[in-house]
Structure formats: C-alpha cells, structure tokens
Amino acid sequence: MPETPPSAESGAETNERSGGVNIDGERVAIGGDAVGRDKISAGRDVTHIDDRDEIHIGFSEKAVVRLVLMVGGLVFVTAAVFFVLGAVVAGNVLASLDRDPRDASGALVSSSPEAAQDFLLKLSAAQNDQSTTLAFSEDELSSFFKFIAGDAIGLSDSRARFAGPNRVALSGRLARLGNLNVVVTFSLHAEPGRVFQLESGAAQLLSTGGPFGWVAVPNVFLQSFADDVNRIFGGLSVASVGASSAWEWNLQTGP
C-alpha cells in the first residue's frame, strides 16, 4: 500500500520533532521541552524571551535614586565644611585687613610708596649683612607688598597685617586663583629660605560684607604662592624672629 504524502497548506511544510521543536516554513518555534522554562520563537522577524525569566541590565531605578542622593549629600556636606572653615579663617583677620596699617608707634597710617622703599632698603641691607636686625612696622610691610612685591607674586590690591605674635595675613586678588579675593595667613620662622610658613587660606566666593561667603582653600593650592613670597626674601638667613613692640617686629639675621 503506498505511503500517504505529507499534507501541505499554502505551500508550507510542517515538521514536528520531539523535544518541542516545530518547523513551519520559514518560522522555527522551540518549546519548553527543549530549553526548560524559556520559550524562544525564532523566525525572520520575531525573537522573544518568555516573561517568566526576566533579565535586568544595569542599576534599578531605586538604586540610581539612592546613589544620586548619597552623592548629593556628600557634595553638600563637603561644601558646608569648606564654607565654615573659610568663615573661620577669614573672620580672624578681616577686621584687621579692613583698617589702615599702623606705624611703629601704633598710629593708623596709609600705605605709601615711601614706606615701601624704606622696607626694600632695609631688606637689601639685611640680605647683604650676615649679622643685623631687620626691624619693620606693619605699614612698611603692607606698603612693600602693595607697591613693590605684589606684582611679582601675582597679588593685586595687596595688603599685609600683623595677625598675632609672629603671624602675618596677606590679602588681595590672587591671579593663580582666577583673581578671587583671598586671605592667606603665615607664621614667621627662623628658617633660611622659608621665613614665611603657610598656615591657612580662604577665597571669597560671595560678597556678604562679613566672613560668610568665604571658602577654605587647601594649602596644596597655595603652596606655590607661599614659595613666591619666600623667594622675595631669598638669601636672608634668619636666626630669630621677635618684636620690639606690638607694631614693630624684627628679624635677626645670622649664620
């Protein structure tokens, strides 16, 4: 008896295989028996993964929100800390910087080119003498930075004030920090080549008429400025730092 030929519908051929593989013309369907729970239909225009097995790539929406909140919180806290430190640094010296400098007698005077030249002559003499005393007042030091040294260190509108025993505050617009108004404090030490040792610094981001609006500047960004300040006093070997009065300090040179 002759075999019955396979039925045909619209010119398509259908073969069934064990294991859930169905071939229907140009479409192939792979059932669960062949690949477990996943069902994949492969044809010219369909590729489907059953919803029972979900694939997640990357972070979930909740994880992204948590990450954004954490980063935002860290940025806020860091900014707050720098603003608080800046207010502390600036607040300690702003009152002194806002007044006129004082001469050796303690009288308020204005900075002048003449006082700047007096300091320059004293500094030159001390650099050429191995044992002498460089005595200077606040107005002479401030005038020196304002009219002579400021341009050499990139500090415009310079002011210098005594900020405590052997402490000096310099202020002005610092070119290397985008001409921001800055306050930088130094302590004076008997160390050759490093008479001015950097303590702290702050830059004014907002003008509020007070210490708020100032932000602390890490010393790493100001060290090159401190190096330039010390370079001005290059060759000066200081044996001791003292004061003959509150408004006249002295550097004793020596080997």
Q: Check residue 71 and give its pLDDT.
A: 64
- Rounded to whole angstroms, how far apart are CA atoms 152 and 154? 6
Any residues with CB less than 8 A from the CB of 32 and at least 6 apart, and which? 20, 38, 39
- Rounded to whole angstroms, how far apart are CA atoms 79 and 74? 9
Q: Check residue 192 and give its pLDDT.
A: 78
219-248 pLDDT, tens digit per residue, is 899 999 999 999 998 878 888 999 999 999
Q: In sequence order, which ranges of 92-222 are alpha helices (DSSP H)?
A: 94-98, 113-128, 138-144, 150-153
> Mean pLDDT: which of 39-43, 163-167, 209-213 is highest?
163-167
Is the Cα torsion angle 73, 88, 141, 158 positive or negative in sign? positive
217 or 143, which is more confident: 143
Confidence of residue 142 (pLDDT cuts 50, 70, 90): very high
Average pLDDT, the chain: 77
31 or 218, which is more confident: 218
Q: Is pLDDT of 54 > 70? A: no
| Residue 125 CA neighbour count, 13 Å, CB half | 13
Look up the pTM and report it: 0.66
Sole residue written with tokens 């019955």: 4
Q: Is pLDDT of 141 > 80? A: yes
Nearest to 189 by CA among 242, 150, 245: 242
- Rounded to whole angstroms, how far apart are CA atoms 200 and 220? 10
Confidence of residue 41 (pLDDT cuts 50, 70, 90): very low
DSSP string, 87-118: HHHHHTTHHHHHSPPB-TTS-B----HHHHHH
Q: Which two tokens stand for residue 180?
A: 């921001």
Nearest to 69 by CA among 57, 79, 77, 80: 77
- Are the CB atoms for 193 and 187 separated by under 8 Å? no
122-136 pLDDT, tens digit per residue, is 999 998 887 889 999
Specify which residues 52 forms β-bridges with. none
Count, residues in the chain: 255
214-248 burial: b if 16+ Cβ within 10 Å, else e: bbbbeeeebeebbebbbebbeebbbeebeeeeebb
- Rounded to whole angstroms, how far apart are CA atoms 107 and 244? 16
Query: CA angle 208-147-143, nearest 5°?
Result: 75
